[in-house]
Structure 1
């Protein structure tokens, strides 16, 4: 009896396990059904367009002519072809699980089936369309995303539409290659030949395809509805930054109020990002508790995808690579960050002679260092603005953004500011962003009459101050394109980046910037950009540069107001801020 009971229990377990597997298999099938229907819609569209540009069966056409006027047959022919084109467009919405795309596809399939019968008694084609509609109808629940009017197509779908339309035109001209084309063909109705309908449909579809492609390629899906965060979200993000858990210094750039913010369900984490074109670009990693990072990364990627965009994660560190790999993203190194170990830093030794010289000279000329705690800079804001204005005039001309700070009293009041005074007047400053066990330098500016080596003097004292306050690292910022390998087996992205780093001094002092930071003997840590494998990372990096510089004019330096070399005691800090 015991054995029989055990056997029965085993049978029940197997049955239960089989039912669970079957349930999960159906759930998985239901989950991917939008993608399956999208591909089927593409196939139906191709069938309709192919049918529209090839001659119909003559016997069936004679039968339909006997009962319908030519104008109705012509309109049905035109309607079937337009329906095929619409199915190509709707397939993108089906792929993205749009409710409106499901409803529109149902209507178009039923209309297309009617057109197929009316244009030439093509009952096989009509039956295929009706079967597809019948299978699609009960799967409405799988399309759970809100629809958006005039949603742009992704580049891959644009290529699909253009390829199908181009193939349709080629097939039509091939099918009617023996027809003598005249102007009358554009205006005559279907009587002896179907080439007239093909010409009209082909012209309309070619025009529509170009319009759709052009609009899709220049659109920025979600940009209008995901602009800079409002005051309430900025306050929420500030509370997270001040709490300090899981905060990296780049998180403070959210306080520039030029980015949108996405919060975790708990409200303890956020991601700061901007939308440019089809790319949704984060500034750094999620800010907040580490256990919420992966879920927030997925939420951001899914949000971008729901608008037809792609998620790009810029300036992420090694600690995020496991999560990004879990998401299946392509990752490329974009440079290195210079982190000075405050406990190991020293001015002793022959290699630090230049730093000792800078300190001694600044002190001889009456320079003093002061660290203004968060909020204390408001009293000196007029002096800080004067330094910033003259620096901008002599260097880059306009403020940056996105990945760099800008002179904003509200922003600068949030974090400590290191200043150098001479005769009681501020001649140089840098704001420092705290995060975990480090401080990161953001805005760094000085006047032309500051003592030579004033920024070296400022950073040396900032390193010492950070050590006294318990910070392990002082982050001097990124050296773009540093550390990329120009090897035969390296990715093209890395090889081109290495070439620009080594030979692009005339355009931007990449190597000089790294050399200037190297004199502080920092530890170099790689930083990365990550995006789906279908996204050109070089173009994503270009978008970051355009966001940071405020567009092409700023990136190319056309708005810079360059001063004479004698007016600037040090070039390196000017370049450093642009990193």
Structure 2
């Protein structure tokens, strides 16, 4: 039993919890007054400045340990080293600040635990974090010193007359480290207050440095020209397997290839999650190699691997690599040979198309390569104008760009009124040689209701000329819940789950997207989210919402992150 317990507490998740707890205890111990008898002994043994400096130092170390716990959960080697050193320092500080033997023993026990768990902390530092850390460590103390000098210059009433600027500068700089500077105070309380303020400034610089050092990077570089060419070669040979394959060419994704080069996975690091989307590209026989490389990279950096919208075949491949899978929803597929506006089930679509035709709206379809520059620029302008807000949504099923010549085989369905003015557009990316996958849907808000149905019907009418046999429409999240939850005899759990999704649809249009697809009577193809363990689902969910731009940081935060 003890061996099993020792094995458990050495895992990154448990070490992180214990480090955070010890850090919190250290902070509380520094804030609360010590035992009077013990404190008197310390003051008899060491100079007065030592206990005060040890107290403020313990508070700073405790805060840093709490911050480090997040990186330790990811198995970061650098975080382990810092935590081990700081735990040993904390033990010494506890003794110096008031003979706090209990806290010192707790810190030493943490050192033993960290040393025993060394083999579980091998993750490399996140890319590009070192330069920012160095900048904070160099610039931070300078800025803090200036702020400290400014505070001492403004609040100079309690200082001995004749105190000059150099003395205040020296006092501000030394005070960041808990060292008493040359400035002398008439009232001892003013000196203590200045010392506390300066130490807080120093601890803040140190905390910011650690936060920057351990902050997740944006991930490896985006696709370069050479990688884009290799991906397009894979798409030419294997792009028909998955309707989402073409979205692998998004500019903000990174790529990792199998050792043979016959398969690849594209992904983006969001927070601490390495988020892939769709199935691997290339030869299915080489998928395991690409998945293994991707998982190995995630382990090496302490990232959480996850996949959005994998097909059943792709989910099986990820499952064989040790990941779990959960059905996320269904993709709507229209087959050209089976699509028709006739019949009672298509009555709503048929009426919408007739209404738009009577209003004089007409639909034309063309490859992007066949559009002249003037038309293409006009379509781009309208697409931007009709976007719902400034944020471009989509990651797993969106290309993130529109109208570029590199995407010449993409198809646009354009709807114009009787005066030739553009009123709506659909943009489809290639799905192999004979398929299309919906990327973008935009319409003039003042246009006739039913314009989307008319554009879909117009595209299906032009599929023969375009050489298209199948069309992938939108993805409906939790489609089966809506489909089964409204049936007679649905169970209470399903009904509650459906009620929750209906409430969420007020913000994210989950149900309306399902209804918009269902009217075409498509084939529903399940899509899955793949993850390492259920404990990762909260982080994976937040990362997915961020990637799809449903959770967006304020603009000033985005500017700070990009800087």
- What TM-score bracket applies, with the shorter chain setting the length? 0.5 to 0.7
Give the aligned partner of residue 97 of structure 2.
119
Quote how far apart the aligned CAs of 1:380 are.
Answer: 3.7
Within-5 A mapping of 1:525-536: 525-529=525-529, 533=535, 535=538
Tell me the residue number matched to 1:377: 369
Match for residue 478 of structure 1 among 475, 478, 494: 475
C-alpha distance in structure 1 between counterparts of 2:222 and 2:433, whole Å: 26
Where does 1:327-406 land on structure 2 (aligned, <5 Å)? Answer: 331=326, 333=328, 335-346=329-340, 349=343, 372=367, 377-378=369-370, 380-390=372-382, 392-393=384-385, 396=388, 400=392, 402=395, 403-405=397-399, 406=401
- Counterpart-to-counterpart distance in 1, 2:21 and 2:426: 63
Shift of 1:244: 0.8
Q: 1:76 to 1:386 in 2, by over 3 A?
A: closer
1-structure distance, mates of 2:29, 2:438: 65
* Offset at residue 48 of structure 1 (A): 3.7
**When the two structures are superposed, what TM-score results if normalisation uses the length of structure 1?**
0.62
- Please point out which of 257, 262, 270 is paired with 2:264: 270
* 1:391–1:43 CA distance, 2 compared to 1 (3 A): closer
User: Contact 1:49–1:84 at 8 Å: present in 2 too?
Assistant: yes
Number of equivalenced pairs: 473
Q: 1:49 to 1:294 in 2, by over 3 A?
A: farther
Say if 1:338 and 1:524, in contact at 8 Å, map to a contact too: yes
Matches within 5 A, 1:226-375: 226=220, 228-244=222-238, 247-277=241-271, 280-291=274-285, 293=287, 296=290, 300=294, 303=297, 310-322=304-316, 331=326, 333=328, 335-346=329-340, 349=343, 372=367
Change (3 A) 1:50 1:250: same
Q: 1:263 to 1:31 in 2, by over 3 A?
A: farther
- Give 2:57's aligned residue: 79
Residues 17-37 of structure 1 show CA distances to partners (whole Å, capped at 9, x for unaligned) of: xxxxxxxx99x9599555565
Aligned residue runs from structure 1 range 80-99, under 5 A: 80-99=58-77
Equivalent of residue 410 in structure 1, options 405, 408, 411? 405
Distance in 2 (CA, whole Å) between partners of 1:368 and 1:108 is 68
Distance 1:262 1:412 in 2: 22
Q: Tell me the equivalent position of 2:438.
A: 441
Equivalents in 1 of 2:459, 2:527: separation in Å?
22
User: Counterpart of 1:119 in 2: which secondary structure?
Assistant: helix
Distance 1:56 1:367 in 2: 82
Contact 1:340–1:474 (CA<8 Å) still a contact in 2? Answer: yes
Query: Any gaps of 5 or more consecutive residues in structure 2?
Result: 133-186, 486-490, 556-563
- What secondary structure, in the 3-state scheme, does the structure 2 residue paired with 1:273 have? strand
C-alpha spacing 1:277/1:356, structure 2 compared with 1 (3 Å):
same
Match of 1:524 in 2: 524
Shift of 1:525: 2.9
8 Å contact kept, 2:308–2:528:
yes
Q: Tell me how far 1:135 sits from its aligned partner.
A: 6.4
**Alpha-carbon distance change, 150 to 29 in structure 1, aligned in 2, over 3 angstroms:** farther
* Residue number among 541, 546, 550 corresponding to 2:549 in the alignment: 546
Does 2:42 correspond to 1:64?
yes
Whether the 8 Å contact between 1:273 and 1:282 is mirrored in structure 2 is: yes
After superposition, the C-alpha distances for 1:436-482 in whole angstroms (9 at most, x for unaligned) are: 98532334679989x9875245322345468x66x4x3222334564
Which whole-Å CA distance do the structure 1 matches of 2:508 and 2:104 have between them? 62
**Correspondence for 1:459:** 459
3-state SS, counterpart of residue 338 of structure 2? coil
Question: Per the alignment, do residues 426 and 288 of structure 1 end up closer, same or farther by CA in structure 2, a change over 3 Å counting?
Answer: farther
Distance 1:80 1:349 in 2: 76
Pairwise CA distance, 1:413: 1.0
Kindly state the Cα deviation for residue 232 of structure 1 after the two structures are TM-superposed.
Answer: 2.2
C-alpha contact 2:217 2:271 (8 A) present in aligned 1: no
**Kept in 2: contact 1:419–1:426 (CA 8 A):** no
What are the ranges of 5 or more consecutive residues in structure 1 without an aligned counterpart? 1-24, 153-183, 190-195, 554-579
Separation in 1, partners of 2:252, 2:281: 17
Q: TM-score, normalised by structure 2?
A: 0.63
SS of 1:66's equivalent in the other structure is helix
Structure 2 CA distance, aligned partners of 1:231 and 1:457? 37
Cα RMSD (Å) of the superposition?
A: 5.5
Cα distance, 1:277–1:53 mapped onto 2, change above 3 Å: same
